[in-house]
C-alpha cells in the first residue's frame, strides 16, 4: 500500500520505563516466590514476609513508581512510611523489643527530611502539601498512641515536632489549608 509519511523519522530506539518493568518484574517475582518457598521448607520464623516487603519497597520506589504526583516530598514520605512498616515487621517477626524506640526516631528523621523539602521551596511545594500533612497527622496520632501506652523520649519528641510542624504548615497555607482538605476529600 502506497503511503506518504507525514511524521518525522522515528529516530533511535530508546528503552522506556515500560521496557525496564517488563524485564525486571520476572527476577523480582522469582525472588519473592523463592523466598516464600524456602521459608516454608525451612520452617521457623516467617522472615519471607520481610523479604517480600523489601522487594515490594524496592519495586515501587525504583521501577513501578507512582503515575500521579510523583515528587520529592511524596517519594520521601513513601520511603519513610515503607521503612517504618519494615521496622515494625522485623520487630514482630523476630520478637524484638525496640519498635517503640526506633520507629518514632525514624519518623522524626523523616519529618525533618520532608519538612526541609517543604520549607525550602514553599511556593511550589504548597501544591504537594497533602502528603506532608498526612505524614504529620499520622506521626501525631502514632505519638499520642505511643505515649498513652509507653512514655519515652522519642515519642515526646515526635509529638512535639509533628504538632509544631502541623501548626506551621497551617499558618503558612492560611486560607488554602481548609480548601486543600476540601479538594483532597471530595467524593463527587
Partner 1 sequence: MKKEKRVKEKIKKTAKGKRNEVLLDDSSSKFCLFTDTLGEAQKRMLSSFLDDVNRHLALPKHDTGLMIGDFRNAICYLSSQGVPFEDILTRLSPVNLGGFYARPPVLWFSLDDAAKIYPLSMKQGQMAVFRLSVYLDALVMPEVLQLALDFTIKRFPSFATTLKKGVFWHYLDTSKRRYQVEQESSIPCRPLPVYRSGSQSFRVICYLNKISVEFFHVLTDGNGGLVFIKTLVGEYLRIMGENFAYEDGVLDVNQTPDSKELMNCFHRTDAKVTESSFFDRSAVQLSGKLSKYRPYRVLHIMMNASDLMQKATSLSCTVTAYVLALMFLAGKYATDDIDGISCIQVPVNMRKFYSSVTVRNFAMYCGIRIKLSDITDLPSTVSLVSQQLEKRSSRSMMDMMMNETGRLVNMLRFVPLAIKSPVAKVLYGFAGDSAFSNTLSNLGVVHLPQELQRHVKSMDFVLGTALTNRASCALVTVGNIATLSISKMTSDPSFEEKLCEMLREQGIEISVEGSSESWR
Q: Which stretch binds partner 1 (CB under 8 A): 14-22, 44-52, 105-113, 138-146?
A: 14-22
- Tell me the H-state helices in 12-120: 17-42, 47-58, 72-93, 99-119
Q: Which member of 42, 69, 92, 178 binds partner 1 (CB under 8 A)?
A: 69
Cα Rg of the chain, angstroms: 22
Counting contacts by CB under 8 A, is residue 9 touching partner 1?
yes
Q: What are phi and psi of 117, to 5 degrees?
A: -60, -40
Q: Which member of 38, 124, 137, 178 binds partner 1 (CB under 8 A)?
A: 124
Counting contacts by CB under 8 A, is residue 5 touching partner 1?
yes
Q: Which is nearer to partner 1, 1 or 41 (CB)?
A: 1
Site string for partner 1, 80-119 (x = CB under 8 A): ----------------------------------------
Site string for partner 1, 20-59 (x = CB under 8 A): -xx-------------------------------------
Q: How far apart are CA 50 and CA 26, in angstroms?
A: 19
The dihedral through the CA atoms of 126, 127, 132, 138 has a sign that is positive
Neighbours of 76 (CB within 10 A): 20
Neighbours of 117 (CB within 10 A): 18
Amino acid at each position: 500500500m502506497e503511503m506518504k509519511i507525514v511524521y518525522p523519522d522515528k529516530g533511535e530506539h530508546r528503552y522506556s520505563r515500560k521496557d525496564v518493568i517488563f524485564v525486571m518484574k520476572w527476577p523480582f517475582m522469582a525472588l519473592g516466590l523463592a523466598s516464600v518457598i524456602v521459608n516454608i521448607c525451612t520452617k521457623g520464623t516467617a522472615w519471607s514476609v520481610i523479604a517480600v516487603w523489601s522487594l515490594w519497597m524496592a519495586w515501587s520506589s525504583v521501577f513501578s513508581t507512582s503515575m500521579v504526583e510523583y515528587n520529592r516530598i511524596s517519594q520521601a514520605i513513601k520511603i519513610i512510611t515503607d521503612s517504618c512498616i519494615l521496622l515494625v515487621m522485623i520487630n514482630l517477626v523476630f520478637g524484638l523489643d525496640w519498635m517503640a524506640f526506633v520507629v518514632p526516631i525514624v519518623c522524626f528523621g523523616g519529618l525533618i527530611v520532608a519538612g526541609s523539602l517543604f520549607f525550602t521551596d514553599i511556593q511550589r511545594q504548597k501544591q504537594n502539601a497533602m502528603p506532608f500533612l498526612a505524614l504529620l497527622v499520622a506521626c501525631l496520632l502514632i505519638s499520642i498512641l505511643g505515649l498513652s501506652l509507653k512514655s519515652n523520649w522519642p515519642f515526646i519528641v515526635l509529638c512535639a515536632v509533628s504538632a509544631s510542624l502541623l501548626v506551621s504548615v497551617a499558618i503558612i497555607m492560611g486560607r488554602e489549608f481548609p480548601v486543600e482538605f476540601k479538594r483532597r476529600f471530595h467524593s463527587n
